[in-house]
Structure 1
Amino acid sequence: MTLRQRVQDVLDELVAGGAETGVQVAVHHRGRRVVDAVAGVADGTTGRPVTPETLFFSFSTAKGVTALLAHLLVRDGLIGYDTPVAEVWPEFGTHGKETATLRQVLTHTVGVPAMPGGIGPADLADWPRICAALAGAEPRWRPGTRTGYHSFTFGFLVGEIARRVTGQPVRRLLHDWIASPLGIAGELYFGVPPAEFARLARLEDAEPQPAEPAEHDGLLAPWERQPRASMGNDPGFLQADVPSVGTFTARGIATVYAAVLDGRLIAAEQLEELTAVAFEGTDQVFGNPARLALGYPLGRLGAPADEAPTTFGWPGGGGSYAYADPATETSFAVTKNRLTPDFATAQRLSAVVTAEFGLLT
């Protein structure tokens, strides 16, 4: 049985059993797409089926693309990893953030994991307000000394740095530097054009939601920690530049990771630098051990303890996931519209892919 058929069988089983509503999976190996599978419905209220062209709002899985934009800035000599953020964004250099660097932004060590007080989901479309609030924020720790998941702030930090050195908003950079050169314009968005709304999957919440760990309550607001379908279905939010989250097809984001691996976007030397361990410590938001490369957690979700952490990529709240594995020359992505409190689907599918290509290295 081919890998494509094995993946399809898993998807069909998950949908038939009610674990998922609609799912896409894409896999690239050595620059070639080997899986582009779908199952279920994009909209549970209408029965519209999922196709490979269906767009899924996939929360933080988009952080992998945001991090890539930072690497392309470095590639083009517009900024260095160790350039202080305040050098290109002077207003950011307050309250001890004067020494914070792009490297520290990418390793979530700047110390501003939460949106400043008074900022809520409805404010995220106001780019100037968010960036002014972040510039004036006092860090929770001295930059570079600890790490903690920068849920929504990460995208605005990278995005404003990019805007300062290029003069362009992140949605334009995403199109011009990544989507268009890779031939995937229309499959990857920060800010979805209204003309594309008919292609969107409709998200739905899975119940019950898990309880929040009391020992970490308060560092992030509930809306920053817990994905909700209402956010990803809101037309106003979907149209906004919020580059910690994004909308795409599985094959679109898998193509991006494949292009990172095969040299279409960055050189081998930069790939080696950005995938090396850049920071290790306890995540101050969630309390878990964190091993971070430049912009990406290292290691595959659900991997056995003895599996070498060769993958880099991002999961997203609700269960989406995308990554690249230089050791096996594969990229993988799963997008879905049922927001589950775990990553069981992604872990099961990535294990199928790893079992296939682990034999070919």
Structure 2
Amino acid sequence: MKGETETISDAKIDTTPVQAAMDHAIASGAETGLQVCAYHRGRKVIDLWGGIADPATGRKVESDTLFNVYSVTKALTATALHIQAERGLVDYDAPIAQYWPEFAAHGKERATVRDGLTHRAGVPQMPAGVTPEMMCDWDAMVDAIAALEPLATPGEKTLYQSMTFGWIIGEIVRRSDPAQRSFRQFVLDEIAAPLGLSDLWLGIPDEAEPRVAVMTNRNAGDPLPDGTSLYIQSMPLAVALVPEVFSRPDVRRAAIPGVGGIFSARDEARFWAMLAEGGELDGVRFLSPERVASFSAPRSNSEEPDPVMFGVPIPISAGGYWLGGHRVTSDRAIWHPGAGGSIGWADPDNRLAVAICHNRMFNTRDPAQDPILPITRAIGVALGLERTVA
């Protein structure tokens, strides 16, 4: 295990609990490689990594190893939209079609930006016949999503937009950008560059390829839901969130804004730190404190069962992030999980930001079997923080 320990108010932080939890996860075989980074009160205080990035070659995880984070990407995409709202370029209550006229097709004209953010736009399903090649073509995807018929009247039902979220929100950002940049370039210019981030990628450059960790899927043999289920419609098998698809060179190089992020924990944690600090980090302000505070409010109908997720309510905040729960340090923390267990969050109560990246995917139904959970709890122990309950 390697890492760095920094200071808070001239006092050394004992990262031993975090390192022990990581060591146990790797030694037990529950994890293969890990990076854990945390910011507290705007300062990086935990920066640890260990394990194997590529089991076939024995390549080790290093501080700059990159990881697929899947739906953690949605938090970055939502934040890009909030930046446009901060600038007065997007109105949450305006129809999506005000910015993207084609989206009005088939009765979607009343779907608002807020509906898109909170998974109530009515189009969780991916376009029929979608392929990895199509998923890599931004224009083809947004055209096909605009042409979808809603599965429910927009604004009236929660239907988790497993993959479509990214293109819906990303295209609103692109259409509202006076410079008409690609969404990938917008993120690089407006989030990554001002924060000094070199490894927060929506489409990696060729030179980053050797640093990407090899993903394995612990749940590869699990039975699949029925092919007609809303779950499978939202993530069709042809483009499923599995290594066989997301290790493809073309997929790694594409801007897939709902599930395609490839990050280092260092850069991801710094992104979350900006939110944990109320929209400003190291003198650079992105969002107002009031706007960031609003993200910790639950969306309307927050307890509504989500048919895409087998009737389980998804704790989405008014800002489009996930909100609270046992995996994070406060009921007001905004966060996002990624398929297979990745996680990142911003806790405004404790001014804490955390990113945990890994390369052995798993989906657990029992918190006792979650190897990430002891790590998140160890971070609280290391920093002397008790979980904040609203």
Normalising TM by the smaller chain, what interval? Answer: over 0.9
Q: Paired residue for 1:254? A: 269
Determine the structure 1 residue equivalent to 2:380.
354
SS at match of 1:290: coil
Alignment of structure 1 residues 1-361 onto 2, 5 Å: 2-166=13-177, 167-184=180-197, 186-213=198-225, 218-223=232-237, 227-245=241-259, 246-262=261-277, 263-264=279-280, 265-279=286-300, 280=302, 281-286=304-309, 287-293=311-317, 294-302=319-327, 309-342=331-364, 344-355=370-381, 356-359=383-386
| Pair 1:87–1:216, CA change in 2 (3 A) | closer
Displacement of 1:227 after TM fit?
2.6
Residue identity opposite 1:144 in structure 2: G
Query: Which 5+ residue runs of structure 2 have no aligned equivalent?
Result: 1-11, 281-285
Instruction: Give the Å deviation of 1:183.
Output: 0.9
| C-alpha displacement of 1:35 | 0.7
Sort the Cα spacing of 1:276 and 1:267 in 2 relative to 1 into closer, same or farther, 3 A.
same
- For 1:351, the aligned partner's letter is R
The 1-side partners of 2:154 and 2:200 are apart by 32
Moved segments of 4+, more than 4 Å: 213-218
SS in 1 for 2:343: strand
Q: Distance in 2 between matches of 1:36 and 1:157?
A: 34
| Contact 1:4–1:36 under 8 Å retained in 2 | no
Contact 2:13/2:45 (8 A) holds in 1: no
Q: How far apart in 2 are the matches of 1:179 and 1:267?
A: 18
Q: In the alignment, is the contact (CA less than 8 A) between 1:3 and 1:353 conserved in 2?
A: no
Give, in angstroms, the shift of residue 210 of structure 1.
Answer: 3.1
Once the two structures are TM-superposed, the CA of residue 9 in structure 1 deviates from its matched residue by 1.4
SS at match of 1:285: helix
Residue 223 (structure 1) shift: 3.1
Name the Cα RMSD after superposition.
2.1
Instruction: Give CA-to-partner distance per residue, 1:39-89, whole Å, 9 cap, x none.
Output: 101111111111111111111111110110011010111111112110111
Task: Identify unmatched segments of 5+ residues in structure 1.
Answer: none
Identity of paired residues, percent? 35
Change in CA separation of 1:225 and 1:301 when aligned onto 2, cut-off 3 Å: farther
C-alpha change, 1:132 and 1:216, in structure 2 (3 Å) is closer
2:31, 2:102 → 1: CA distance? 45
TM-score under structure 2 length normalisation:
0.86
**One-letter amino acid of the structure 2 residue matched with residue 103 of structure 1:** R
What's the secondary structure of 2:266's corresponding residue?
A: helix
